[in-house]
């Protein structure tokens, strides 16, 4: 079965650089979520999109922005990178709205900021 | 104080043991309760989800929710070395989108 695809899997950047993470949801899933997981930490919700509109916002820094495109893939843009941005970034997708909708997680993008 | 509290472990048990993993929470609005398993450097994988209080069983796994105590548990019977992973509880409020995760409990099942 198709899963959530994230690219790149690994990314190394310098401080103050920009990074773009991509997420391709499971086919027919219309909702995408972004989470950040620091070393030894729980995943922290950043932002989500439903049908290309922002649906919820968590602890996403102003330096980060995201969007969902017409083909439902999503991109997380991170500017002025800081050392503390080094983390595993997960994308998850789900289908439908309201009540419980299982979120399927991708393998993550490991971002290292030097 | 975090909305969801989970003992980070690590928890080491012998093969075949019954494992009990727990989370407590403070937000009484949580309606959906999930358990995820995460292997090292992999994305979380859903094991169980429950809605409302009570027990739910799936193979060797049983999820239990006690809303009055704001306490959830995951039991693993006949634990196997392949169960060695980090187990994350997650919760959500009905009709919102984000999950709130616990910190995860690292489990090691010794052969």
Which residues have CB under 8 Å from B56's CB, separation 6+?
B48, B50, B62, B63, B64
Q: Is the pLDDT of residue A86 over 80?
A: yes
Q: For A105, which of B43, B92, B98 is closest by C-beta distance?
A: B43
Confidence of residue B8 (pLDDT cuts 50, 70, 90): confident
Peptide bond into A32 cis (omega under 30): no
Residue B82, both tokens: 């392949």
Tally C-beta pairs within 8 A across A and B.
63
Residue B9 has pLDDT above 90, yes or no: no
A99 touches chain B (CB under 8 A): yes
Grade residue B79 by pLDDT with cuts at 50, 70 and 90. Answer: very high
Yes or no, beta carbons of B95 and A99 under 8 Å apart: yes
Q: What integer is the mean pLDDT of A63-91? A: 96
Distance of alpha carbon B45 from alpha carbon B38, whole angstroms: 6
Burial of B82 (0-12, 13-18, 19+ CB in 10 A): exposed
For chain A, give the mean pLDDT. 92
CA gap B16, A104 in Å, rounded: 29
pLDDT of residue B94: 67
The answer on pLDDT for A99 being more than 60 is no
Q: Do A41 and B103 touch (CB under 8 A)?
A: yes
pLDDT score for B7: 84
């Amino acid at each position: 079965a198709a899963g959530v695809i994230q690219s790149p899997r690994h990314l190394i950047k310098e401080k103050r650089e920009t990074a773009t993470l991509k997420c391709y949801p499971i086919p027919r899933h219309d909702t995408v979520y972004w989470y950040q997981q620091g070393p030894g930490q729980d995943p922290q919700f950043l932002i989500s999109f439903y049908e290309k509109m922002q649906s919820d916002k968590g602890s996403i820094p102003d330096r980060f922005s995201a969007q969902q495109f017409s083909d439902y893939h999503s991109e997380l843009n991170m500017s002025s990178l800081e050392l503390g941005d080094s983390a595993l970034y997960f994308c998850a997708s789900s289908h439908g709205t309201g009540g419980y909708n299982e979120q399927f997680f991708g393998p993550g993008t490991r971002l290292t900021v030097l | 104080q975090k909305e969801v509290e989970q003992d980070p472990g690590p928890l080491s048990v012998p093969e075949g043991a019954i494992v009990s993993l727990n989370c407590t929470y403070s937000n009484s609005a949580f309606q959906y309760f999930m358990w995820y398993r995460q292997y090292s450097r992999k994305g979380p994988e859903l094991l169980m989800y429950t809605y409302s209080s009570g027990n739910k069983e799936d193979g060797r796994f049983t999820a239990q929710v006690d809303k009055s105590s704001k306490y959830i548990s995951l039991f693993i019977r006949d634990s196997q070395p392949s169960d060695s992973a980090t187990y994350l509880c997650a919760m959500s409020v009905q009709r919102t989108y984000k999950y709130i995760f616990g910190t995860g409990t690292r489990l090691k099942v010794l052969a």
